[in-house]
Structure 1
Amino acid sequence: MATRAPDPSIAMRTRRAARWAIVVGFAGFGLKLAGWLLTGSDAVFSDALESIVNIIASVGAYLAISYAERPPDEEHPYGHGPMEFVSAAAEGVLVGAAGAVILTHCVGTLVRGREALERIDLGLAFVLASAVLNGVTGWMLLRVGRETGSAALVGDGRHLLADLWTTFAVVVGLLLVWLTGAQWIDTAVAIGVGVLLLVVGTRGAIGAVSSIIGYSDKEDHARIVSILEAHRAGAPPAICSFASVRHRHQGRIHLVDMHLRVPRQMTVAESHDIASAIEREVLAAVGEGTATAHMEPCGDAACPRCACGRSAQG
Structure 2
Amino acid sequence: MSSGVQSLESISAEKRRVALHSMLAAAAMTALKVAAGIVSGSLGVLSDAAHSGLDLAGAGLTFLSVRVSDRPADENHPYGHGKVENISAFIEAGLMAISCAWIIYEALQRIYSHSVELRHSMWPVLVLVTSIAVDYWRSRQLREVARRTGSPALATDAFHFASDIWATLAVLGGLAASWAGKQFGIPGLRYADPFAAVVVSLMILRMTWHLTRETIGALTDQIPVETRKRVVDEVEGVEGVLAVEQVRVRRSGAAYFADLTLALPSRTTFEHTGELVRAATEAVQRIVPQADVVIHTVPRQTNAQSIFDRVRAVAARNNVSVHELSVQSHQGRLRVEQHVELDENMPLLDAHSFITSMEQEILREAPEVDSVLTHIESEPATIEQPDEIVVDDRRIEIALRAAAKSFPEIVDVHELTVLRAHDHVDLSCHCTLPDKLPMLRVHEVITGLEDRLKLECPEVNRVTIHPEPVTDNTR
CA distance in 2, matches of 1:189, 1:116: 19
Matched, 1:224 2:231: yes
Deviations 1:262-294 (A, max 9, x none): 221112343133213432453365233410111
1:253 aligns with: 255
CA distance in 2, matches of 1:288, 1:241: 23
2:120 aligns with: 119
Matched, 1:209 2:210: no
Matches within 5 A, 1:228-239: 228-231=235-238, 234=239, 238-239=240-241
- How far 1:165 moved relative to its partner? 1.3
1:166 aligns with: 167
Return the TM-score normalized by structure 2.
0.58
CA distance in 1, matches of 2:144, 2:99: 26
Q: 1:290 and 1:92, CA in 2 relative to 1: closer, same or farther beyond 3 A?
A: same
Q: Determine if contact 2:217/2:223 at 8 Å carries over to the other structure.
A: no
Matches within 5 A, 1:90-239: 90-181=91-182, 182-217=189-224, 220-221=227-228, 223-231=230-238, 234=239, 238-239=240-241
Return the TM-score normalized by structure 1.
0.85
CA distance in 1, matches of 2:46, 2:201: 11
Q: Secondary structure at the match of 2:237?
A: helix
2:37 aligns with: 36
CA distance in 1, matches of 2:194, 2:121: 15
Q: Determine if contact 2:232/2:244 at 8 Å carries over to the other structure.
A: no
Q: Secondary structure at the match of 1:45?
A: helix
Deviations 1:166-200 (A, max 9, x none): 11222222211121224333333344454445444
More strand by share: 2
Report the more deviating stretch, 218-227 or 260-269: 218-227
Q: Percent identity?
A: 26
Q: 1:219 and 1:121, CA in 2 relative to 1: closer, same or farther beyond 3 A?
A: farther
Report the more deviating stretch, 68-77 or 97-106: 97-106
CA distance in 2, matches of 1:120, 1:113: 19
Q: Secondary structure at the match of 1:255?
A: strand
What do you get for the CA RMSD once the two structures are aligned? 2.8
Q: Determine if contact 2:48/2:103 at 8 Å carries over to the other structure.
A: no
Deviations 1:16-69 (A, max 9, x none): 111111111112212322331232222222221111111111111111111111
Q: Secondary structure at the match of 1:287?
A: coil
